[in-house]
Amino acid sequence: MRFRKEVFVSRALRNPIVRGCPHCMREQAADQPHPLRHIALRGDWLCRGVDICHQHRHPLVPLWSSSRPIERDNIGARLAEILPDLRTGSFDCVRIDPTDYDLWLDKRLSQGIAADDTWLASQPVFPAITLCEFIGAALLRKQGEVPDDRRAKATGFAFVSQGPDGIRAALDILMRSQDGGHIVTQGELGPLFNHLNSIYLDDDAFAVFRGILRDYFLEIWPLAPGDDLLGQAVTERRLHSLTSASKETGIGPAVLNDFLTEAGAFAPSDARADARKTFDAKAWQHILDEIPTLVGPSALRRAIGATLAELKGLKADGILVPRTNIATIKSPWRIADGQALLEELEAYAQPVAAEEPGWETIQLVHKRLDLPVGEIIAAIRTGSLHLGQRPDVSGYHGLVVEITEVAAFKAKSAPQRKPSTNKAEVTAAAFARSAGIRGKGQFLALIEGGHTSAMLVVNPTTRRQEWRMSHDHISAFEASYTTPTLLSAETGAHRNTIRAVLQSEGIQPFRPNGLDVGPVYLRNVVEPVVTLLKTQGKNDL
């Protein structure tokens, strides 16, 4: 057999142990008066990736070994030493069948790249052999087996020969943990990483394989900028885990998990360990940035000048909505939300002298007249009620309404109200939250502007008035409008994906008369996007 030149590109191909096929060597020496002159070592036996003589179906066996190259390579002397054992069959073993790896390598060494019909035709031989062996050994160890070189190469070849997709499939098996996450250590791939990070670090022959591995691990490992990955520094963070995000932000992983789960980064059933519970770093950075800015009720009250009762009243009617509804979170409020509400109301307010009678705070009028805080503020926004501001009291507590005007407003609007007994109805605020509309008064503005229908009723338990929606009201809304949250449920696409597609298509939220009603889109405008998302979803299956 002709041993092609490409194999000698790297001296690492040479095996320090000299191996051969005893049958081939006996045949050469048979009936020769001077047998040592006629015995030759085949060139392909020098390649450490070759394990079998295809002619005799015999494994290559160690013939001799020496730590001193000058002695190891003195073939004449070494052959003389083993000739008696060679003739008596001491080197003979049970014959074996070649594997797909054996057949591929034999054809590649004897006939060259033109005869290689696998993806490996694009790669040098030695890196291909090396990756097959290391990945195959790792797969066998993952299965709890002790790998031998020959089985390892055959196992790895089944994946590596398929190219990038096959290699990634093998990596998926190796890096998947029992809880469904990815192992964030080298695991069984430690030996391969050790070699790629040391003796093969600057070997250009391994460049393609390093690139495949690097791209894969950038997708599954929460690596930080500056981390070294196979000889290259990571330039940007792609993934966070709860553990890495906690270290960077100083926020406990349990709190982060609650926030990210509520926001949709994790499924509620996600049971991965903190170190393996990864999420897109860019997509959810706004959550990490926002959490430290959230405050408790006392801080919010001080920021907007409200009493505890006033804050509770604003919360109960959905005028101020906490950033999170998780009961264990003690700081669920955004000061910016409170300040925006205060700025909005103060823009409606006219000065009222401190001694002028007949004016009371919104909370006190709510208690006096049993009129919901939300309805009073809605009437202020539409101009149905006037709002005053005491010069000697700052913040929300200094905003007042005229008692007689509010009483007249209540009497005028009373015929429109009726007790609610339909358990199939839901509050408009609850439906808005389920649809992903969380901004203060946004959905209420949509209702009061006449853009969607709802009923103003009296809650039979609390005796407070509230907007409620029946099944027909909800169906009517969804026929005309939609939101990223509703589109996510409809198409299966993530909300971030939906937002990105809407933005790329130039589709803007519905803004009646310039009014911000939240992430609401006209159904007929986004219908092409729905079709696109559904098509992508089918293609992903």
Q: Say if 205 falls within a structural domain.
A: yes
Q: Are residues 435 and 369 in the same domain?
A: no
Q: Are residues 267 and 221 in the same domain?
A: no
On the question of pLDDT at 222 being above 90, the answer is: yes
- Helix then strand then coil, in percent of the chain rounded to 5, is 55, 10, 35
Q: Are residues 63 and 107 in the same domain?
A: no
Q: Quote the pLDDT of residue 78.
A: 84
> Do 158 and 178 share a domain, yes or no?
yes
Residue 335, judged by CB atoms within 10 A of its CB (0-12, 13-18, 19+), counts as middle
- Give the pLDDT of residue 327: 82
Q: Which of 29-43, 58-72, 226-240, 527-541 has the weakest average pLDDT?
A: 527-541
CB 384 within 8 A of CB 332: no
Residues 113 and 225 in one domain: yes
Question: Where in 91-175 does DSSP place strands (E)?
Answer: none
**Residue-wise pLDDT tens digits, 146-175:** 888 899 999 999 999 999 999 999 999 999
Give the integer Cα–Cα distance in Å for 317 and 128: 67
Whether 431 and 515 map to the same domain: the answer is yes
Task: Among 293, 310, 335, identify where a domain stops.
Answer: 293
Same domain, 372 and 444: no
374 Cβ neighbours under 8 A, 6+ residues apart:
317, 318, 319, 444, 466
Is there a domain that residue 421 lies in?
no
Can you tell me which residue has the tokens 């490409």?
A: 6
Based on the fold, state whether residues 40 and 71 are members of the same structural domain.
Answer: yes
Same domain as 454, residue 524? yes
Closest CA to 100 of 61, 57, 155: 155
pLDDT-derived band at 420, boundaries 50, 70, 90: very low
Task: Tell me which of 206, 233, 260 is where a domain ends.
Answer: 233
301 within some domain: yes
Give the model confidence (pLDDT) of 229-280 as tens digits: 999 999 999 999 999 999 999 999 999 999 998 888 898 889 999 999 999 9
Assigned domain for 487 exists: yes
Asked whether the predicted pLDDT for residue 416 surpasses 80, the reply is no
Instruction: Label the pairing between strands 388-389 and 350-351.
Output: parallel
Query: What pLDDT sits at residue 535?
Result: 62
Question: Average pLDDT, whole number, for the chain?
Answer: 86
Q: Among 193, 217, 233, where does a domain finish? A: 233
- pTM, two decimal places: 0.66
Count how many domains the chain has. 5
**Containing structural domain, residue 201:** 102-233
pLDDT digits (tens, 9 = 90+) for 450-508: 888 888 887 666 666 778 888 888 888 888 899 988 888 787 777 777 887 888 888 88
140 and 213 in a single domain? The answer is yes
- Asked if 468 and 420 count as a contact pair (C-beta separation under 8 A), the reply is yes
Measured between alpha carbons, how far is 461 from 416 in angstroms, rounded to an integer? Answer: 19
Q: In terms of Cα–Cα distance, which of 85, 6, 3 is closest to 40?
A: 3
Q: Are residues 221 and 244 in the same domain?
A: no
Residues 103 and 96 sit within 8 Å (Cβ to Cβ): no
d(CA 489, CA 501): 16
